[in-house]
Chains A and B, each alone.
Chain A
């Protein structure tokens, strides 16, 4: 083997060490970059040279760089991110609804209880104008509590409706970016090359998309195909298919696919899924219970009023004004009168009788049309809000812990370890120094050889 051949091997070693140092450098630089997958240098022994019976090695070839990935873990992380996005969206809304249904102050039950207390106080002195005024004030407070609870729910629903539009906009941006990367990645893979940074970018985009909605990702020769829960294509090759948010007849934003089909109900995961679940199922359910309670309670009080006489001896009139249909009752319930004499306390038409107040008080313990007492109906509402919030909180906590574990696992495969890279740095530095020493040695040998020639000539 000639000195020139040895020099060539040394230069290859320098290149390999330099390339490895570059990979290490890049890993260290991106140690905290979200979505970055560590790169390793791919070294291969150069084909040996055979002369007669002698086979000599030809050094090392740097054949490329390889990203260290685990597609299965990445898929699991995407799925868990979808679950987390949905749970967090629901939790955020429910935590804002929860204080409305406390059992402490100014909530519906406290005000309802105050109304019955004021009716009981009136029974001790039914002619008392101050006691009558107190009943009206308590009734007004209760109506206001119903109005505010309904307003909280509908405001929350309106906010979620806006969120649907925003989520759809973000989804469209992400699918567009994912589609744009597909041709480049397909070309790299067609040449047998690693996706590298482009694949990192696309994986990160898919992760962001998973935080917004439930999607399925499949690999094709044209790149990644992304579909929604019901199979609607969002990305296929270089094409992305934008979703549309459009107001429906119910006043809510509905999500339409590119063909105009309403696919709102197919979104179950991610922020969009959680938002739609809360907007279209959870809040309407709570509103219906609230409206039912308001409507049936007002109807029962009005019916009790009708069995008695007011302070003027006239037949009792409605105390509450409430819509004839259940829907919207909590929002619209108001006091029907501001006249204290209108309270039908009397059972015989005399102004001092309190006989009918027992009928008004009985509304507290009698079952409403729903089969529940007002207290039981409100307790049911309290339990449901608490239970929904608790479940969403538990789901959020569980998915966070699960994601942490999955990310740890993925990081153990794809993440950058500064310690490891530091060790690699030393290894490749030493390799570079050794190769440089070889070059230096060969240079010395060349010099000696050249000197031998000069000495012979002299």
Chain B
């Protein structure tokens, strides 16, 4: 075979050699075998799901990091409530003595009132601005001192509200009843008036959501007045309807030892694993006003100490003991969730390592191999250049000079 011109072959060999060198350098500098999709399309496609898993693991870890302190705060608050209830039981037991003077019982009643106030304060515990016992209503304290009557800011003797006063569509008015432990939520639609709201209140009374006797009426000052008409039951009213203005408790209408739950019963769940969701909150009404009713039992003990017989004080103390047991039961799932989240955090940490290893196997390069490849590529390139330097200048003309 005649060999006429070696330049194209030498150029091709140099290009190939330099390409190999460039690839080897890139792999060493990036630590990656796959620097573009075409380097390994299948590995690139598999990276999509692997990266998604990594992002999810990071997010689950972040969720746990955010939620764990909040749940530990809730657990700590419940622990304090348990302590408070034990204190109330001790006070109730001492108050149930038949030899105790009335003045002493009144004193003990005051101490139980302090316990109740402390329990309410614990029930309104917040963590990073989140009220942990408000259900999904986390931005305001869930337990509010109740009053007999709330009146609207709007309306006056000169320009009174009337039953025909239109409400703003979309506005929400809530009435939380301390006695029933329930909340009536009224959302106005187009065409609604105060008369419509009044009808809604009547319906809620009929349904048992609100205590009997709860009414909504225009008072002598031309304001909307929502009232329980009872000295022992109380309500908390709120509204964002501009036609009514803010609802405030009428002066002097506060009901002693009555607290309405203005949170809700919603339990939010958050994903902390591909197949693991955890309940992140314990609604305050479930913890303190349902079942053995912590607040009710403490209120009953106060009443018994103030005016009851020894037997009645004993019974009231027994009720507080039952409430204590109930709170302990409610705490179990919360503690269990905290433990699960701690375990999950450890698992996710390990899973992150596993995924990183998987990704390295998919697109990464063994640095020892990469360094060896680079060394070999440099050697090859030098050899090609040396061969070209040797071969290209040699022609017959050199020997004919």
Contacts and interface: CB of A to CB of B under 8 A. Distances in A.
Interface of A: 31-32, 94, 98-99, 101-103, 109-110, 113-114, 116-117, 120-121, 123-127, 312-314, 346, 348, 350-355, 358, 361, 364, 375-376, 378-380, 382-387, 389-390, 393, 400-401, 404, 407-408, 411-413, 415-420, 422-423, 426
B231 interface: no
Interface in B1-45: 1-5, 8-9, 12, 36-42, 44-45
For chain B, which range describes its interface: under 10, 10 to 19, 20 to 34, or 35 or more residues?
Answer: 35 or more
B52 A312 contact: no
A350 B264 CA distance: 9
B45 A386 contact: yes
Contacts of B42: 383
Contact of A352 (B12, B41, B47, B134): B134
Contacts of A419: 395-396
Nearest to B266: A353
B400 interface: yes
A98 B170 CA distance: 50
B52 A109 contact: yes
A412 B2 contact: yes
A350 B140 CA distance: 13
A420 B8 CA distance: 19
Interface stretch (B61-69, B350-358, B376-384): B61-69
A423 B5 CA distance: 16
Interface stretch (B76-84, B106-114, B268-276, B288-296): B268-276
Contact of A408 (B9, B48, B59, B66): B9
B51 A121 contact: no
Interface string B300-332: 000000000000000000000000000000000
B66 A124 contact: yes
B337 to A, nearest CB: 14
A-B complex: 9 closest residue pairs judged by Cβ atoms: A386-B41, A386-B37, A352-B136, A415-B4, A389-B38, A383-B45, A379-B48, A390-B38, A419-B396
B137 interface: yes
A66 B234 CA distance: 119
A313 B186 CA distance: 12
B164 interface: no
Given A117-B58, A313-B172, A383 B44 contact: yes
Contacts, number: 174
A354 to B, nearest CB: 5
A445 B45 CA distance: 92
A385 B45 CA distance: 10
B137 A352 contact: yes
Nearest to B62: A121
A312 B240 CA distance: 12
B62 A422 contact: no
Nearest to A361: B271
B127 to A, nearest CB: 11
B66 A378 contact: no
B389 interface: no
B52 A375 contact: yes
Contacts of A383: 41-42, 44-45
A77 to B, nearest CB: 13
Interface in B246-288: 264, 266, 268-271, 277, 280
B266 A407 contact: no
Contacts of B46: 379
B346 interface: no
B130 interface: yes
Interface string B371-401: 0000000000000000000000001110010
B38 A393 contact: yes
A313 B38 contact: no
Contacts of A355: 266, 268-269
B397 A418 contact: yes
B49 interface: yes
B95 interface: no
A412 B55 contact: no
A411 B63 CA distance: 70
A385 B37 contact: yes
B4 A417 contact: yes
A126 to B, nearest CB: 7
Contact of B55 (A31, A117, A423): A117
Contacts of B39: 386, 390
Contacts of A120: 59-60, 62-63, 270-271
Contacts of A124: 63, 66-67, 270, 280
Nearest to A426: B400
A375 B49 contact: yes
Contacts of B182: none
Contacts of B277: 358
A358 B136 contact: no
B115 to A, nearest CB: 29
B8 A109 contact: no
Given A113-B51, A383-B42, A423-B396, 8 more contacts: A109-B48, A124-B63, A376-B49, A404-B9, A412-B1, A412-B2, A416-B5, A422-B395
Contacts of B45: 379-380, 382-383, 386
Given A103-B44, A121-B59, A415-B4, A126 B37 contact: no
B101 to A, nearest CB: 49
A123 B63 contact: yes
Given A352-B137, A404-B8, A417-B4, A102 B37 contact: yes
